[in-house]
Structures are given as C-alpha cells and as structure tokens.
Amino acid sequence: MSNRPVALVTGGGRGIGLGICKALANSGFDIAFSGRKAEADVQPSIDTIKAAGTADTKVLYAQSDISDGQGRAQLVDAVKAEFGALHALVNNAGVAPDVRADMMDATEESFDRLIDINLKGPYFLTQLVARWMREQHEADPAYRGCVINVGSISATVASTNRGDYCISKAGIAMSAMLWAARLAEFNCEAYEIRPGVTATDMTSGVKDKYDKLIAEGLTVQPRWGTPEDVGSAVAVLAEGRLPYATGQVIHVDGGLTLPRL
C-alpha cells in the first residue's frame, strides 16, 4: 500500500498526458501511466516524471490499449498490484482522426476507432476504477477519489472536417457529469478539463494554421496552450483544491471560447 496519493493517467507518455504526470508527481502523487508503446520506448518519459517528483516518487508504466476490455482490466490490476490504492484517475488518452475528412466523406471505420478509444475506453475504465474507489471509501470513510476527463473545446466547437472527434469529445463531457452524479456518495468527484489549441505532436501538422489564427486574435491570451497549462489545472483538481465543485468544466483554452463582440 502506497503512503502517498496515487494517480493513474492514461496516455501519459507524451504531450498533454506527460504534462499531467509531471504536475501530479510534483504535487506529491505516485504515478501510474499507460500507453500502447513498449516500456523501453517510454523510458525517457518515466525518467522525466520521476525527476518532476521527489527521490521517493514511484512511477509505474503499464502497456495497455484502453479501447480493449481485457487491456483495461489488466491496467487496473497492475495499479492494484503495485500501489494497492488509487486516488485519481485522469482519462487523457485519445486520438485524432487519421484523415481530417469532410463529414460528407467520412468513414464508419474512422468513427468507430475514435469512439472506441476516445469515449468507450475511458467510460468503461472509469467504471472499473469507480468500483474500486467505492471499495476504498467503504473501507475508509475519509477516502477521497477524483476522476478527471481531459476533453476538448471540440465538445462544443464544431469542426466539420473531424465530426467523429467532436462527437467523441461531446460524449466525454457528458460522461464527466454522469460520474460526478454517481460517485458523490462515495466522496469521489469528477471533472472535465477542456483544453484549447495546445502545442503537442498531435497539433504539429496544423502549426502554421493556428500560428496565424492566434496572431489574428483567435485566443484572448495570444499564445498556444502547453501541456504544463493542462497539468496545472489537473493538479488543482486532483489535490482537492476546488472543493464543492464536482461536475464542473475547466476551460484551459486561453479564452478561445470566451464570447466576445
């Protein structure tokens, strides 16, 4: 049993997920993170997360495909075996469409892939974790759990060349509200973090487009978002520094979705 709070971050080996892992390690959490790569390929990320914490910060990497039921079960079992407890689940893993296709031409294969990874996987992973959180609360009434979904402004901002992605993120938004309502009796909170235009390898292919848009005033704060921005917001929620606010959406978008005249 870990003496420190434990966080599980899906897709934690790069981009926003790595920024989240670093922030949580810095906040005193032991970290479990998952991804589809072999452990040897994410060793630099493991080292980076450990460096963000303290000398006794524990970091577990579990290779897992969250779109697969067996993969989700093995992931939770690995965290149980290593730490014996879990206090925060961050559903971060997600993918963009392989091809940004106009809705008139988009394929069912792309839709199914995005729903499986971006929505079904996090929903049923949360179900597994929620059952475990309930058990932990029943064993210790002082236990507090937290589920954080990393969504996207695409939950409400329509992009007709990636409708499947937008729909998956709209589902993630409702999922966070549903889990907030269901888990409150077990002293567990649920939130959604909604990043805007964030500099990661996923957005590298559209850098020139958004450089221009940001320069023209797309965001109130005139810069790209960073994984560290998202990590800071996640840490606030995971640490319990926003009490009495379960179910809320935290926009980390530099004011992109702020209504303006």
The first and second tokens of residue 14, run together, are 């790069």
> Which two three-digit tokens encode residue 234?
């996640």
Is 244 annotated in the active site? no
Strand spans (E) along the chain: 6-10, 30-35, 59-63, 88-91, 145-150, 188-195, 249-252
Pairing of strands 59-63, 249-252: unpaired
Decide: helix, strand or coil at residue 27. Answer: coil
Give the integer Cα–Cα distance in Å for 75 and 34. 8
The size of the chain, in residues, is: 261
Compute the CA torsion angle 129, 13, 18, 110 (nearest 10 deg).
-80
- Interacting residues of 217 by C-beta distance below 8 A, sequence separation 6+: none
Give me the residue label for tokens 């003496």. 3
Interatomic CA distance for residues 183 and 246, integer angstroms: 10
Distance, CA of 24 to CA of 240 (rounded, Å): 12
Q: Is 102 helix (H, G, I), strand (E, B) or coil?
A: coil
Active-site option among 61, 123, 143, 165: 165
Which backbone phi and psi does 233 adopt, to 5 degrees? -65, -40
Active site residues: 165
